[in-house]
Amino acid sequence: MAGKKLASRLGVVAATVGLAVGAVAGTAEARSDNISTWYSGRCNTVNWFCLYYSPDASGASLGYPHADADIHDLGNYRYANDGAGAGQVVRNNAASAEDVSNCNVGIWYSTDFTGDSEWLSPWMGGNLTFLRNNEASISVDDNTHCPGTGMG
């Protein structure tokens, strides 16, 4: 009888340790990729950042001045011009982005610049990959001349 109780207790301990190890192994650092691949010139105001509803700088766009640096929640913005996506909320609804400045720009999965991110080098645009239709905030930073919380 004592052997069965000991075996039962050891089984509970082993299961608890297994769950704890699994929880630690399941946590991962946030992913961050540079998506800079093109420059369209559609976002043509210097020191602006643009998000587009569709890939390759097409569809409706949101232009945003770097002077304001950060958007903590893209859910507060709508695509204002003509084209596919016009009038829709920007958050979780963008397929490409363009950076018209000397700063890096980060695009984050969650509000307040948290979670996975994709970023653009200065004067570059790119199609969102793992963040396509899954973006919630943007921030400008190059660690020297640009304000905001950025890629580090």
> 83-129, pLDDT tens digit by residue?
999 999 999 999 999 999 888 889 999 999 889 999 998 899 999 99
pLDDT at residue 26 is higher than 60: no
Under the banding of pLDDT at 50, 70 and 90, the label for residue 148 is: very low
Contacts for 50 with CB less than 8 Å, ≥ 6 apart: 42, 43, 57, 61, 62, 63, 64, 97, 98, 100
pTM over 0.85: no
Q: What is the pLDDT of residue 20?
A: 43
Under the banding of pLDDT at 50, 70 and 90, the label for residue 68 is: low
